[in-house]
């Protein structure tokens, strides 16, 4: 589906210029257009056939001109849905800047349910229902798309998306709680409410929130000072009294391990501090083992407390 713009070729080869309104429409819709829109723009059916001869046909009456992007796949879904089409779930979250990577599926809310289709690497599917859209292409609001994607994800996926949206101030706890209250049933509602309650407490990622709940709260460990600054730089959590640092590493955010190692070494040499590092797998699948390690590190440096055994801890 990739190639030179058909609009550009038309301008070079045709004596009849395209109306400016049609050119803008195609540009604004990321190269995707319905034949009905071209006719409404004043083109005849013969001109439409000539114009779309080199374009890729996505569905009956729906074409794309030029290179395909995620946005053009979203536009294809909205246009195929007809009036009332609104991008939802993960696709809306990506368009709203909540998710960093485009999902493989574009889910579109529609008054009807057209058949699914593919636009290069993206599959476009439809959910029947009416939703309020905003933006271009029309998509759910940040709050509505977080509630929408919760139905498709496990708790970890919801935690990651909601925590990112709150940390980046793309929404507020109040707006998100209102969106949850507007629905009769919301999957992972308790988790979303807990994340909203924790907002503003220095938790900036889903991994940090899961560490606080699964490791610290479940095992009654001391709460570290979050987003702490040391003479060597910022850290995720710092037990100042005992010289223990906790770093929570999402792979996407810690690509240059050499910088992390240099900082860890500096903390050890210049501050006599030990650094413990954990990722998604440890915090979500082995929280009890993580709690044990943190407790041991604190105890070796003078902590007199005791770890509480949670329901997931192995019997002694």
Report residue 187 CA to chain centroid gap: 17
232 and 177 in a common domain = no
For the segment 166-189, the average pLDDT, to the nearest whole number, is 94
109-163, pLDDT tens digit by residue? 999 989 999 999 899 999 999 999 999 999 999 999 999 999 999 999 999 999 9
Looking at the structure of the chain, the number of domains it has is 3
Alpha carbon distances (Å) from 228 to 83, 224, 231, 270, 277: 50, 9, 10, 17, 15
* Rounded CA separation 255/286 (Å): 23
- Whether 189 maps to a domain, the answer reads yes
> Does residue 77 lie within any of the structural domains?
yes
Query: Encoding tokens for residue 7?
Result: 């609009």
| 107 and 151 belong to one structural domain | yes
- Distance from C-alpha of 274 to C-alpha of 272, rounded to nearest angstrom: 7
Residue 286: CB atoms within 10 A of its CB come to 16
Angle between helices 173-182 and 189-198 (to 10 degrees): 160
Note whether residue 305 is domain-resident: no
The pLDDT of residue 303: 96
- Confidence band (pLDDT; 50, 70, 90) for 3? very low
In a domain, 313, yes or no: no
In a domain? residue 309: no
- To the question of pTM greater than 0.85 for the whole model, the response is no
Please give the pLDDT value at position 251.
52
Residue with tokens 């900036």: 204
Over range 180-195, report the average pLDDT: 93
Same domain, 43 and 140: no
User: 3-state SS of 63-116?
Assistant: EECCCCCHHHHHHHHHHHHCCCCEEEHHHHHHHCCCCCCCCCEEEEEECCCCCC
Last residue of a domain, one of 139, 171, 197: 197
User: Does one domain contain both 51 and 88?
Assistant: no
CATH code for the domain in which residue 249 is found: 3.40.960
Are 79 and 131 in a shared domain? yes
Same domain, 58 and 93: no
The verdict on 221 and 275 lying in the same domain is: yes
Confidence of residue 13 (pLDDT cuts 50, 70, 90): very low
Candidates 298, 279, 299, 296; CA nearest to 287 is: 279
Same-domain status, 193 and 82: yes
**Claim to verify: residue 91 and residue 174 sit in the same structural domain:** yes
pLDDT at residue 26, rounded to an integer: 94
Specify whether 191 is located in the same domain as 175: yes
- pLDDT per position as a tens digit, 234-289: 898 999 999 999 999 865 554 555 567 888 888 888 888 899 999 999 999 999 99
Q: Classify residue 133 by its DSSP letter.
A: -
Among the three residues 17, 38, 64, which one is the final residue of a domain in this structure? 64
For residue 311, being part of any structural domain is answered with no
**Does residue 223 sit in the same domain as residue 122?**
no
Regarding whether 80 and 57 lie in a shared domain, the answer is no
Q: What angle do CA 299, 304, 308 make, to 5 degrees?
A: 85
**Residue 315 located in a structural domain:** no
The answer to whether residue 75 is domain-embedded is yes
Residue ranges making up the domain that contains 140: 70-197
Instruction: Tell me the torsion sign for CA atoms 41, 46, 47, 53.
Output: positive
């Amino acid at each position: 589906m990739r190639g030179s713009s058909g609009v550009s070729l038309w301008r070079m080869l045709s004596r009849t210029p395209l109306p400016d309104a049609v050119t803008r429409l195609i540009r604004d819709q990321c190269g995707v257009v319905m034949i009905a829109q071209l006719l409404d723009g004043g083109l005849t059916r013969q001109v439409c056939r000539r114009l779309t001869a080199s374009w890729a046909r996505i569905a009956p009456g729906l074409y794309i001109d030029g290179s395909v992007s995620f946005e053009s796949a979203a536009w294809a879904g909205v246009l195929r849905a007809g009036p009332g089409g609104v991008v939802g779930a993960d696709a809306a979250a990506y368009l709203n800047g909540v998710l960093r990577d485009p999902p493989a599926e574009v889910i579109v809310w529609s008054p009807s349910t057209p058949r699914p289709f593919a636009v290069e690497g993206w599959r476009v599917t439809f959910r029947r229902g009416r939703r309020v859209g905003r933006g271009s292409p029309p998509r759910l609001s940040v709050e509505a798309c977080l509630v929408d994607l919760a139905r498709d994800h496990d708790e970890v996926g919801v935690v990651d998306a909601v925590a990112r949206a709150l940390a980046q101030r793309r929404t507020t706890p109040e707006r998100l709680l209102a969106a949850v209250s507007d629905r009769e049933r919301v999957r992972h509602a308790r988790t979303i409410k807990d994340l909203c309650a924790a907002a503003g407490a220095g938790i900036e990622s889903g991994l940090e929130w899961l560490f606080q709940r699964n490791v610290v709260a479940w095992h009654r460990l001391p709460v570290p000072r979050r987003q702490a600054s040391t003479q060597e730089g910022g850290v995720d959590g710092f037990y100042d009294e005992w010289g223990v640092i906790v770093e929570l590493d999402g792979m996407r955010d810690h690509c240059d391990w050499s910088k992390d190692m240099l900082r860890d070494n500096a903390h050890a040499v210049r501050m006599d501090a030990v650094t413990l590092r954990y990722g998604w797998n440890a915090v979500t699948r082995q929280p009890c083992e993580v709690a044990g390690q943190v407790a041991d590190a604190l105890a070796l440096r003078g902590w007199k407390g005791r770890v509480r055994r949670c329901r997931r801890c192995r019997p002694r």
